[in-house]
Structure 1
């Protein structure tokens, strides 16, 4: 995964380099490509290419290569005789120079890799005080699993596909109290690899498929709850995790994910601005965590199974993550960010 991404970045750098050298400003010697290529960070990147395929680029060289790529793209496009405003009229995009998908997260603020350099596994804690949790995990970007955090919750006895189906579809039929819980500008729906285009469509899948058997088509989807009436009903069955710092609060929006075994979310990073917790109500979900790009040389990849009744806490704005439902049960999780 990582080597493939790095190879794509290297290929993009070479392509831009060739394009830059053919630019009119470079050919007229107003700008010299060699001036950029003599940068220490670029020389380090060039040397890194001669190392073993298992060698990871240094944090500094990778970071500055990203900056270098942006600079080259800007100069290359500015060097052309393009009428910016007419270009905007011709283009359907808001971006003059769109980034490839695999580079979109390469320019987030760099992390201090000391936060993950000594982490080799995700620890499990129980009966942890909010003071200890705050000191060790709450805002340190260190992931953790709390094994006893769902004590006294009734969610395991109540939450399942049919519960949410009735909760949302029945609410959709009754709009007199302020609108459908399936709509709203703040709602988000994640179909992943399914054919569903909306939460309503997902809840209307064939009951045989929804209840899962080996011969039925698999599914996995998630959504954010944006209806306060639904939120109030959900909170009857789960509460604020006991370990959260006393002065913090869970954000009002619930995030719910459910699906069948051997499915899950692809590798990605979030942009929600806060750390989060996710409670494993049913089933088992395997998490794969990768450090930020600039920390590949210093930090390890992490893998952990979150079992029924446990809660995982992590900063998904920092850790790249993907999930896989393991075992033979449907997975159902609910969670939120906290400040």
Structure 2
């Protein structure tokens, strides 16, 4: 039912959409978005829709609005002040709240997913001809910078020298560091768990953290951004050896941890630079999907399983991605950005 309604919106051929109809459609489209749990479902619907009409929906709506203003200005120029005031009030009180989710300080503010769908198209050269994700052993700085660092093409690195310093990672390690105030988080993601804070998550029941039979799956992530805490974390995990010292300028490290059967849902990031992520313990399956504008030029999606000791390089600003912990052990990863 949801897919049918979504396809109806993105495939519409009507050229007689009035502002009031656009307002209703906007409310319904947001309702569909809220009802849809998995972004994969939305991406599939958009892929099947003719000419990806969703990208033109809001443009068409705004075009009718601008046309309405222009006609009003020409036909009623003697009363333009009153007309413009009325239009401003209609926009602020009726139209903008539907589109911006109630934030009147923004003319148009869309849900994150629709921001991604309607963003300016990107060049698809990074995925054209890409049939699978490269797996490279002991990647050098020169090869990394020439073939992967700034091309947008993902790569998985094995046998990197930095991994040898990271054998002791465990849930208990982070719990101890947190209690001893050796690490301080800047941003925390509970994903689909019930933990409101990182402290609450790290103090979960011991049986749950140790994956005892009957445990409830969980997955969390948080960042470390203050220099003194980053340096403490680097006592336990090393930056990948294929990153030159000049590349390691983004002073933020991310930690992701979780049990089998859980992970991060399909999403796209809004960070400054491409990212690396080291699988320190356990295994995690990554699913990558190309941006909407590249669906008909590139392979639709890719999967790769990250084992302990693997490092993935990915520009998460252009690749949709989701993760799922697999196997029988807890998954622990640490990552960051490079320039």
| TM-score interval (norm. to shorter) | 0.7 to 0.9
Q: Tell me what 1:262 maps to.
A: 261
Assess if the C-alpha contact under 8 Å between 2:163 and 2:309 holds in 1: no
Q: Distance in 1 between matches of 2:105 and 2:217?
A: 37
Q: Distance in 1 between matches of 2:270 and 2:5?
A: 25
Q: Distance in 1 between matches of 2:171 and 2:290?
A: 33
Q: How far apart are residue 230 of structure 1 and its match?
A: 2.3
Q: How far apart are residue 203 of structure 1 and its match?
A: 1.0
Matched, 1:83 2:89: yes
Q: Secondary structure at the match of 1:104?
A: helix
Q: How far apart are residue 105 of structure 1 and its match?
A: 0.7
Number of equivalenced pairs:
292
Q: How far apart are residue 11 of structure 1 and its match?
A: 1.2
170 and 246 in structure 1: CA distance in 2 versus 1, 3 angstrom threshold: closer
Q: Deviations over 1:44-92 (max 9, x none)?
A: xxxxxxxxx997568xx44x86245334146348768451686399955
Q: How far apart are residue 95 of structure 1 and its match?
A: 3.2
Match of 1:149 among 133, 148, 160: 160
Q: Normalising by structure 2, report the TM-score.
A: 0.76
Q: Tell me what 1:20 maps to.
A: 18
Assess if the C-alpha contact under 8 Å between 1:73 and 1:97 holds in 2: no
Q: Distance in 1 between matches of 2:107 and 2:47?
A: 34
210 and 13 in structure 1: CA distance in 2 versus 1, 3 angstrom threshold: same
Assess if the C-alpha contact under 8 Å between 1:282 and 1:330 holds in 2: yes
Match of 2:117 among 106, 113, 123: 106
Q: Normalising by structure 1, report the TM-score.
A: 0.76
Q: How far apart are residue 21 of structure 1 and its match?
A: 7.0
Match of 2:184 among 181, 185, 190: 181
Q: Tell me what 2:227 maps to.
A: 228
Q: Distance in 1 between matches of 2:290 and 2:256?
A: 23
Matched, 1:132 2:143: yes
55 and 210 in structure 1: CA distance in 2 versus 1, 3 angstrom threshold: closer
Q: Distance in 2 between matches of 1:71 and 1:268?
A: 26
Q: Tell me what 2:331 maps to.
A: 331
Cα RMSD, aligned residues only: 3.2
Q: Distance in 1 between matches of 2:92 and 2:54?
A: 31
Q: Secondary structure at the match of 1:305?
A: strand
Q: Secondary structure at the match of 1:242?
A: coil
Q: Distance in 2 between matches of 1:8 and 1:229?
A: 48
Q: Secondary structure at the match of 2:180?
A: helix
Q: Deviations over 1:119-160 (max 9, x none)?
A: 111111112221111111001011001101254632222x21
Q: Secondary structure at the match of 1:153?
A: helix
9 and 140 in structure 1: CA distance in 2 versus 1, 3 angstrom threshold: farther
Equivalent residues in 2 for 1:168-207 (5 A)?
Answer: 168-171=178-181, 181-182=184-185, 187-207=186-206
Q: Distance in 1 between matches of 2:209 and 2:273?
A: 32
Assess if the C-alpha contact under 8 Å between 1:56 and 1:296 holds in 2: no
Q: Secondary structure at the match of 2:135?
A: strand
Matched, 1:69 2:67: no
55 and 251 in structure 1: CA distance in 2 versus 1, 3 angstrom threshold: closer
Q: Distance in 1 between matches of 2:64 and 2:212?
A: 56
Q: How far apart are residue 17 of structure 1 and its match?
A: 6.0
1 or 2, which has the higher helix percentage?
A: 2
Q: Tell me what 1:8 maps to.
A: 6
Assess if the C-alpha contact under 8 Å between 1:57 and 1:297 holds in 2: no
Q: Distance in 1 between matches of 2:249 and 2:284?
A: 22
Q: Secondary structure at the match of 2:217?
A: coil
Q: How far apart are residue 207 of structure 1 and its match?
A: 1.2
Q: Distance in 1 between matches of 2:264 and 2:188?
A: 13
Q: How far apart are residue 239 of structure 1 and its match?
A: 2.0
